[in-house]
Structure 1
Amino acid sequence: MQRRFRELIYRETGIKMPQNKDHLIASRLRKRQIALGLNSLDSYLAHLFDGGALDAEWPEILDLVTTNKTDFFREPAHYDVLAHTAIPEAFARKSSTEPVQFRLWSAAASIGAEAYSAAMVLAEAARENRLLDWMILGTDLSGGALAKARNAIYPAEELAPVPPELRQRYAMRGRPGARSREMRIVPELRRRTRFEQLNLIEPPYPVAFNLDVIMLRNVLIYFDHDRQTKVVNNVVDHLRPGGHFYVGHAESMIVNDPRLEQLAPATFRRKDTI
């Protein structure tokens, strides 16, 4: 029965769950097993496959089996490249009086820390030059993670990696009481950052083309080689020539798209021609 579950997860999400991860499956599904009053993992799996509960349980399963580990300003070199290379290059392509549209896609957005970190960088650039018109799309497979991203409320300690001046400007402290240890991203950033559910193994994607930056970080490691190649190729289709593509630092060697040239570890640019 667990093999059937592993095959289902791979088929529907692309996530590899080998047999030696059965203990991980059991621990993650235990929450649903308990919630439904079932006495074992096997009884829960039978409830899914033989009891007809799979469709109803599927959103819960997605939230439990996907890894939503993320941090604000994780792998900070990418945000430095965004601020000091990608954004200036966007201005260099336009006249000094023409508005600059800058579009970024956080393609494995999780609970939104990556997207809001990028939003802070872009908002800072817009403070210096009001011609910058930026928007961010965050997508993820997990509906639960996306709900947290849209809500944009985080324990204060999770915003510790944010530079103090940015944290003061772009995060609001909760009112005294139960929420005093929480912070919320300011409305100005939330208005320019939207989140949608998307499965990376199900192209074509309902995402705009000719994007300036795509962040596909720390998700490829969960796919096998064939899926990794297809996802990178499909995602890069949405990147404009000259646009930037960022992956996790453990994923640099995975990227093998002839349209990309490597600028730095885990940092690529789409070539103007191939």
Structure 2
Amino acid sequence: MPSLALTSRPIEDDGEDHLSALDFGRIAKLIEGEAGIKLPPGKRLMVEGRLRKRLRVLGLADFASYANFLFKRNGLERELTHLIDAVTTNKTDFFREAEHFDFMVSTMVPLLLKARGERNPLLKIWSAASSTGAEAYTLAMVLDDMVAQRHDFRFAILGTDISTQVLAQGRRAVYPAEMIAPVPPEMQARYVMHARRPGPRREVRMAPELRRYVRFAHLNLMDQTYPFDRDVDIVFLRNVLIYFEKADQEAVVARLLTHIRPGGYLVLGHSESMIGTAHAVRQVAPAVFQKL
């Protein structure tokens, strides 16, 4: 009995509408140039799935019409924000890589306060790829808990992201109820509000006492300058540089370091632990660097 060869059909042969390889390449090049994010050919189906809603919103019949709208009908200027929102990955969790928050409590904050030598100083913390705000609000919970125990400092948190959609959610501070599972019960009791009349999908909201510590702003890390303070104490930039080319990684780290005060800290994701070692920093914990 002869063997049967198993072959896979090209994407275009499955009867569905698809981005042509040419149009996907043009969009991928655009996204890399604007946001620093690489979209290899294997991401084509993912991009299509995320863009189908944009086709419906714009009343376009197929992906060829969408590409024509972007590149030939001068639609790029008003569509770029929506395109970036659609294709960027916004994975986030409360208390993600929790050891970083433990190290902040045990080491970073005490050393920063000792170096400042001021009465009731203001610590500035920046979540530089904040997504929907889970990291920023985790920082707020941890620091507010510290303030309640120490009573010797104040803090303010900035969350920035390239996606306007996730920034809007961060400002609303509303999340699916299951998302707060990693938050310790005592913190849930203090900082998380539940609806009196839950809807079909249970949601929670961060308490106003917590929200007042956090503000959100739009930022493209590929911009040559960042319009924010240059005396930040701690910058969290976790699990985003892995999507960038090496040269872009180093450039982003260099720009962020100009916003960190001497002795301040840059916190990267554990998979990014070697990024930034070419700069004037010293590694003080896994993926944690102190500016010299």
How does the TM-score come out when normalised to structure 1? 0.94
Q: Secondary structure at the match of 2:271?
A: coil
The question of whether the paired residues in 1 share the 8 Å contact of 2:254 and 2:279 is answered with no
Distance 2:108 2:122 in 1: 12
- When residues 54 and 172 of structure 1 are mapped into structure 2, their CA distance, relative to the original with a 3 A threshold, is same
Distance 1:100 1:179 in 2: 44
Return the match for 1:219 from 211, 235, 240.
Answer: 240
Return the index of the structure with the highest Cα Rg: 2
Return the match for 2:121 from 60, 78, 100.
Answer: 100
One-letter identity of the residue aligned with 1:206:
P
Q: Secondary structure at the match of 1:104?
A: strand
Return the match for 1:56 from 60, 69, 78.
Answer: 78
One-letter identity of the residue aligned with 2:46:
L
* 1:113 aligned onto 2:119: no
**Structure 2, gaps ≥5 residues long:** 1-22
Post-superposition CA distance 1:212-259 (Å, at most 9, x none): 110011110111011011001111111111111111111112222331
C-alpha RMSD over aligned residues: 1.6
The question of whether the paired residues in 1 share the 8 Å contact of 2:162 and 2:220 is answered with yes
One-letter identity of the residue aligned with 1:71:
D
Segment of structure 1 superposing worse, 32-41 or 82-91: 32-41
Give the 5 Å matches for 1:128-207: 128-178=149-199, 181-207=202-228
One-letter identity of the residue aligned with 1:124:
D
Partner residue of 1:267?
288
Percentage identity across paired residues of the two chains: 44
Partner residue of 2:12?
none
* Alignment coverage as a number of residue pairs: 270
* 1:24 aligned onto 2:46: yes
Give the 5 Å matches for 1:220-235: 220-235=241-256
Post-superposition CA distance 1:38-71 (Å, at most 9, x none): 3322221112212222222222112111111100
> Could you tell me how far 1:21 is from its partner in structure 2?
2.3
- When residues 179 and 203 of structure 1 are mapped into structure 2, their CA distance, relative to the original with a 3 A threshold, is farther
Partner residue of 2:110?
88
Superposed structure 1 runs of 4+ greater than 3 Å apart: none
* 1:14 aligned onto 2:40: no
How does the TM-score come out when normalised to structure 2? 0.88
The question of whether the paired residues in 2 share the 8 Å contact of 1:156 and 1:183 is answered with yes
One-letter identity of the residue aligned with 1:229:
E
The question of whether the paired residues in 2 share the 8 Å contact of 1:107 and 1:138 is answered with yes
Return the match for 1:46 from 37, 49, 68.
Answer: 68
Q: Secondary structure at the match of 1:241?
A: strand
